[in-house]
Amino acid sequence: MPGPQKEILLVRHGQAFCNVLGLMASQSCQGLTDTGHWQAGQLARRLAAEQEQGHQVAALYSSTVRRAMDTAWPVANLLGTPVVPRTDLRVPDPGPHAEGLPWHIVRRRWPTPDPDRPSRPLPAGGEPWRVYLARAHASLAGIIADHPGGRVVVVGHSETATAAYTLLIGVHTLHGLKVDVDHTGITRLVAVAEYPHVPAGVQRWALRIHNDTNHLNSPSTMPS
């Protein structure tokens, strides 16, 4: 009898103070705003409802940046699934000179962009995009390998979705394609079987959902 379908849910964190204030923050992240906590609660309720319908969560991983952990905890509490913190899923490290600074100051102080990610400045001592992708790819590949079946939830950042796409495509840049993800937006990847006698050579994945935020469309529970 076949086991449960193998799927990965990539979830961006809820709205954080650094998002509202426009700060480049990793270790200095102050966590979620009230709106962000509401978004995380709505996400948790959605995943709990889907679990009751048979979509059992096999594992829950999270970036260790506070805004991601603040998003993962309500999910863990409602689903009864422990959070597995993954430091290597954190955002690209800003470095000691840019940590906590406003983005506009970072861009003015370090005007030369990262050659592998031209939309991002590369502060002195900051982590280059290619280095970030290497660790994010390794982390996501390890998570995928560790779970032969079932639903795995990964709470991270918009960069996490980009890392997943580049990992599965086998590239280090998406060139002109920008991957936008809203706060608590869900991206769903499902492992698919090839047609009989088709030697694919690798596990292939179907992108079933990108940036789904339907759980935020409940006006009666909107934060005041």
Closest CA to 160 of 122, 211, 113: 211
Position 145 in a domain: yes
- What's the domain range around 135? 6-89+127-221
Which band of pLDDT confidence, cut at 50, 70 and 90, is reported for residue 5? confident
d(CA 144, CA 165): 13
Position 122 in a domain: no
Closest CA to 166 of 114, 95, 112, 116: 116
Q: Give the chain's domain count.
A: 1
Contact 31, 66 (CB under 8 A): yes
**Percent of the chain topping pLDDT 90:** 84
Position 173 in a domain: yes
The structure's pTM equals: 0.93
Q: Is the pLDDT of residue 204 over 90?
A: no
Task: Give the domain CATH number at 149.
Answer: 3.40.50.1240
Higher pLDDT, residue 197 or 137: 137
d(CA 166, CA 160): 10
Position 104 in a domain: no
Position 113 in a domain: no
Position 29 in a domain: yes
- Please give the angle made by the CA atoms of 48, 40 and 16, to the nearest 5 degrees: 165
Position 1 in a domain: no
Q: Is the pLDDT of residue 128 over 60?
A: yes
Position 100 in a domain: no
Span 38-49, pLDDT tens digits? 999 999 999 999
- Please give the angle made by the CA atoms of 67, 214 and 204, to the nearest 5 degrees: 80
